[in-house]
Amino acid sequence: MRLSHIGLFVAGLTACSGEPPTTTSNTLQAQQSSVSTIRQYNVLFGGTDVGDMTITQKGPVIDINYGFSNNGRGASSEETLLLSEAGIPISWSIKGKTTFGNAVNETYELKDGVASWTAAAGAGEESIADDAIYIAQNPSPYALYLYTKTVLEAGGEPYPALPAGLVTVSEKRKLTLGSGESAVNATLYALGGINLNPSYVILDDKQEFVAVVSPRFALLREGLEGEDKRLRELAATLNTERYEDIAKDVTHQYEQTVRVNNVRIFDPKALALTALSSVVIKGNVITAIEPVQSQPATDEVFIDGEGGTLVAGLYDMHGHVGDDRAILNVMAGVTGMRDMGNEDDVLSALIDKIDKGILIGPKITKSGFIEGVSDYSAATGELAPTKEDALALIRDYAEKGYWQIKIYNSMNGEWVPDMTKEAHRLGLRVAGHVPAFYRADQMIEGGYDELTHINQIMLGWVLKPEEDTRTLFRITGMKRFVDLDLSSDAVKHTLDLMVENNIAHDPTMVIHEYAMTGRNGITNKAVANYVEHMPVSEQRSAKSAMLNVADEAEDQAYLTAYQKILDTLSLMHKRGILLVPGTDMGGAFYLHRELVLFEKIGMSAAEALKRGSYDMAQYLGHTERGAVEVGKEADFFLVHGDPTADLSVLKSMAMVVTQGKYYFPSEVYPEFGIKPFTEVPRVVVPD
């Protein structure tokens, strides 16, 4: 940490609790002449230094400058806070941009007992009788420290928050950071009540800010960068402990035969529901499908399906899975996930714990992430400075049992033919982005089996050869789709190549919809079906645009470009190109939306349901899954209603069965602040 003291100390600013100070010449003079304290912090992603944060405090006034850049994109902001005598913000201004460029101009003020705020999600106002702390929508990580410190100084009990909810803090670990005279005695706390999962905040023994950490991210006080790996591993351990505890509480396993009674079954081959029946399971295998039983047998576990529908587990074909996303995917019926880029040690450890029943998660198919070296390299997976390094990584992934490799933006496209040849020799498939300065056609000719993200294909039709897609331009450049002629020779040539070479495509429609149609103050279509059940922070995020939309012309450009994406995918579907459903947004409810978008490009709801379940099981070689049939694994979910008529009912899952275990999402969702969608079904267990 670097500290500097500027000027001579005089009487500092004072403010009555809950009220801003009166601005007079005396207080202005105090602001100008009081001691300033400057603290420096560094931002690290996966161990790579990608940004910094500077905090300047002068009495109750705090200025924060924060920013980072990773994978060609990043957030930045400048904040000014005025604190009350109790240390609670009574004035807060945040200006900057989000990771994908949406402008941030957020304000908060508490005056005469009335709190008012304006943020991307909209404006609000509330009279408050007692102290409450405003939860900013787009602050720097310093805000997490403010919330934590406020709760601790108030005695540690749940603390009221604005716009809604309660903030909680629990102590997790005592730590000594650094060594020698510069060693810092600190405490790591779990901050809850804001997001789906707790944030981990570290304070020193003087309750000053030290760090915010997660398994992938760390913001550390300057001088403590050497603690990055240890603290991220600790965050991963704490997450694991949390999810292990949840798994112990909500996992149901039965020694007896299980009968799921009074259900219709989605038949993916007939694209229809069967008549009402009962499904019999022993261990993790479906042993019989029989007529509906009128009452429970004395030697069976009896689960009443109440006329609902059984559907084989879904697959998210574009995930980046962690233990938090793992459990929420299973609760949403996503029992299979193809991970498209992760650290091998993290992913392998997660799979091992899922296989052992320690954690709840889907069956994970691994993709080996390989990135080239540039100023824009992603801090995920492995970097290959040379072609020989890339080939060595392919061999390493093959030895570790990966299903495919994934090539990323900074890769040298000239290496691709040799990389695909080596991957195919070893039995690996090849998927990926289109490397910068290349086109999809060249990657197909170079040996790709699958192309990732629809914009990666379409940008090759509208960009100039020298334009760089390693930056945010791969997102903002999509506005040029407005003038794209889908009957052009360039479009036809690419689609012809895809058909001739049997190229699959992972379009990730939902992230394009979220980015290109989302606008500040309006609930995003991608989440509108379920967001009212989510914590308030998730609801506010749903009303915040991902991209910066400057004016009406840009608004229309993005909307028109998004429709052009759907039109392109409709053409691909008509040509028989295999489109695989993936989200790149964590899966779960987003995967449900991805399937709805498959309807918009020409599929029926039943066809989309088949594509997300049976077709993907076949594509990945999981022949033991994908349908509710005798002899198959019991890998399915129970949902009320008919998803072949209306995919929106997928959110109301009453039960998920996978890997020999039974889960009732309504028992799990409260752990994440999610309001359940339905009741737990009636279960009769014999004595």
Q: Structural domain boundaries of the chain?
A: 5-249, 314-490+562-622
Are the CB atoms for 106 and 138 separated by under 8 Å? yes
Secondary structure string (H, E, C) spanning 238-256: HHHHHHHHHHHHHCECCCC
CA atoms within a 13 Å half-sphere pointing along the CA-CB vector of 318: 26
Are the CB atoms for 402 and 371 separated by under 8 Å? no
Are the CB atoms for 547 and 100 separated by under 8 Å? yes
- What φ, ψ does residue 53 adopt, rounded to 5°? -140, 135
Task: Report residue 286 as tokens.
Answer: 């479906």
- What φ, ψ does residue 217 adopt, rounded to 5°? -125, 145
Q: Is 619 helix (H, G, I), strand (E, B) or coil?
A: helix
Task: Report residue 486 as tokens.
Answer: 């889908």
Q: What is the pLDDT of residue 687?
A: 86
> What phi-psi label fits residue 569: left (phi over 0), alpha (psi between -120 and 50 degrees) or beta?
alpha
Q: How far apart are CA 368 and CA 403, in angstroms?
A: 8
Element (H, E) at 574: helix 552-574
Q: How far apart are CA 634 and CA 656, in angstroms?
A: 10
Element (H, E) at 489: helix 489-500
Instruction: Return all residues near 466 (Cβ < 8 A) that are at least 6 apart.
Output: 437
Q: What is the pLDDT of residue 34?
A: 62
Give 343-347's long-range contacts (Cβ < 8 A, gap of 24+): 343/46, 343/380, 343/381, 344/368, 344/400, 346/215, 346/236, 346/322, 347/321
Q: Where are the alpha helices (DSSP H) in 334-465?
A: 344-355, 387-399, 416-425, 440-445, 454-462
Closest CA to 266 of 638, 661, 593: 638
Q: How far apart are CA 405 and CA 398, in angstroms?
A: 9
Instruction: Return all residues near 286 (Cβ < 8 A) that are at least 6 apart.
Output: 279, 280, 628, 629, 630, 631, 632, 633, 634
Are the CB atoms for 167 and 191 separated by under 8 Å? yes
Q: How far apart are CA 570 and CA 565, in angstroms?
A: 9
Q: Is 314-490+562-622 assigned to CATH 3.40.50.300?
A: no
Rg, C-alpha atoms of the chain = 27
Q: How far apart are CA 650 and CA 665, in angstroms?
A: 12
Q: What is the pLDDT of residue 118?
A: 95
Whole-model pTM?
Answer: 0.86
Q: How far apart are CA 516 and CA 83, in angstroms?
A: 37
Q: What is the pLDDT of residue 4?
A: 33
Are the CB atoms for 436 and 405 separated by under 8 Å? no
Q: How far apart are CA 422 and CA 428, in angstroms?
A: 9
The Cα-based distances of 1 to 38, 169, 231 in angstroms read 9, 25, 17
Closest CA to 192 of 257, 231, 147: 147
Are the CB atoms for 523 and 514 separated by under 8 Å? no
Closest CA to 180 of 226, 139, 140, 145: 226
Secondary structure string (H, E, C) spanning 500-541: HCCCEEECCHHHHHHHHHCCCCCCCCCCCCCHHHCCHHHHHH
659 exposure class (CB count in 10 Å sphere: 0-12, 13-18, 19+): buried
**From the DSSP assignment, how many helices (H) and strands (E) are in the chain?**
18, 34
Name residues of the chain where pLDDT drops below 50: 1-33
